[in-house]
Amino acid sequence: MIVVTGGAGFIGSAFVWKLNTEGIDDVVIVDRLGCSGKWKNLVTRRYADFLHKDAFLQMIQADRLPFPVEILVHMGACSSTTEPDADYLMENNFHYSCRVTEWALKHGIRLIYASSAATYGDGSRGFDDDEAGIKDLRPINMYGYSKQLFDQWCLRYGIQKQAAGIKFFNVFGPNEYHKGDMSSVVYKACNQIRETGKVKLFKSHRPEYDDGGQKRDFVYVKDCADVLWWLMEHREVNGIFNLGTGQSRTWNDLIRAVFSALGREPQIDYIPMPEPLQNQYQYYTEAKMDKLLARGCPALFKPLEETVRDYVVNYLSGQEAHL
């Protein structure tokens, strides 16, 4: 059995989709659905059972899970970079991850877990996933700090030698529609274009970047699912790895790709960045991918324009925004 925590969420449900496309439905999804719409991500998926995340934790702490588990893909977390409740993030993102990891390693279960590029903070210390550098990162929000704490915990106890941790960069694609403010700019831009015909982007407050020239490493969720599948198949590959395309692109590039996919001419309004955000804003992110590629991962990322077109045309332009 394969357990996917956060299996109704964005990346988790995309990975369940990948499993299903490979003919695998011996899957248990662990999540908390609450009043969100992410249950829709499960409608077309095939899986054996669903467990609330609290019930799953109780079962593994009592060591009474009623089925054998071969692989645990731990994607579950609160991913809001603006979540104000630090105690909640400490429990939900850090301590919960520690408990499920201890259980998985105790039983020899293959573990793949989600870290985040938010651990890199403002990027001034680079984006190198070398273990020595990971210890000294300085996240700028509590979400990033919760992920950094868990990476540091893994390094402290040598868990990175027995599991694969993934620092996801700017992931976009189907199954994110329930994320609200945390949904991608591609998703938000499509809505803006339909409503106003234009897209708003922040002006640059640094002379070396043009307005809309700030850069991110945008990576498609389907490509992320392919990498997770490869790691599942290669359980000898362990460590903490970046997951991005390895090529940063500007916000202007991204938005022009959205307009192109919609068959429209770009119309972009550049608006002032809120003052409180100016000192925390990341002007550049780019995943250094050498470490994962050196371990044999093919990581065949499609061009940004192609992935944006797939997302916009095949998901955002129809009735369904999920896989």
**Assigned domain for 317 exists:** no
**Contact criterion met (CB below 8 Å) for 2 and 67:** no
Examine the domain organization and report whether 260 and 118 are in the same domain: no
Question: Could you report the per-residue pLDDT of 234-285, keeping only the tens digit for each?
Answer: 999 999 999 999 999 999 999 999 999 999 999 999 999 888 777 778 899 9
**Assigned domain for 309 exists:** no
| Residues near 70 by beta carbon (within 8 Å), at least 6 away in sequence | 1, 2, 109, 110
Which has more pLDDT, 321 or 169? 169
Nearest CA to 297 out of 229, 247, 246, 217 is that of 229
Examine the domain organization and report whether 22 and 79 are in the same domain: yes
Examine the domain organization and report whether 52 and 110 are in the same domain: yes
Residue whose token pair is 């329930």: 178
Examine the domain organization and report whether 108 and 234 are in the same domain: yes
pTM of the predicted model as reported, rounded to 2 decimal places: 0.95
Examine the domain organization and report whether 73 and 88 are in the same domain: yes
Examine the domain organization and report whether 39 and 145 are in the same domain: yes
pLDDT at 279: 72
Q: Is the pLDDT of residue 321 over 80?
A: no
**If pLDDT is split at 50, 70 and 90, which confidence band does 299 have?**
confident
Q: Which domain holds residue 292?
A: 2-172+217-247+284-302
Both tokens of residue 250? Answer: 């500007």
DSSP string, 222-288: HHHHHHHHHHHH-TT--EEEEES-S--EEHHHHHHHHHHHTT----EEEEPPPHHHHTT--------
**If pLDDT is split at 50, 70 and 90, which confidence band does 46 have?**
very high
**If pLDDT is split at 50, 70 and 90, which confidence band does 26 have?**
very high
Question: How many domains is the chain partitioned into structurally?
Answer: 2
Examine the domain organization and report whether 26 and 146 are in the same domain: yes
Q: Is the pLDDT of residue 319 over 70?
A: no
Which has more pLDDT, 18 or 282? 18
Examine the domain organization and report whether 239 and 227 are in the same domain: yes
pLDDT at 322: 79
CA 217/CA 179 separation, integer angstroms: 20
Both tokens of residue 68? Answer: 């054998």
**Assigned domain for 25 exists:** yes
Q: Is the pLDDT of residue 173 over 90?
A: yes
Average pLDDT, the chain: 95
| Alpha-carbon distances, residue 157 vs 83, 97, 116 (angstroms) | 28, 14, 20
Nearest CA to 171 out of 280, 301, 35, 31 is that of 301
Q: What CATH number corresponds to the domain at position 297?
A: 3.40.50.720
**Assigned domain for 258 exists:** yes
DSSP conformational letter for 180 = G
pLDDT at 83: 92
**Assigned domain for 323 exists:** no
pLDDT at 35: 87
Which has more pLDDT, 280 or 162? 162
**Assigned domain for 318 exists:** no
Examine the domain organization and report whether 63 and 207 are in the same domain: no
Lowest mean pLDDT among 2-6, 98-102, 134-138: 134-138
The fraction of the chain above a pLDDT of 70, given in percent, is: 99
Question: Could you report the per-residue pLDDT of 122-147, keeping only the tens digit for each?
Answer: 888 999 999 989 989 999 999 999 99
**Assigned domain for 261 exists:** yes
Hey, which residues are catalytic here? Answer: 143, 179
**Assigned domain for 322 exists:** no
Examine the domain organization and report whether 161 and 207 are in the same domain: no
Examine the domain organization and report whether 124 and 92 are in the same domain: yes
Examine the domain organization and report whether 211 and 221 are in the same domain: no
Span 205-233, average pLDDT: 96
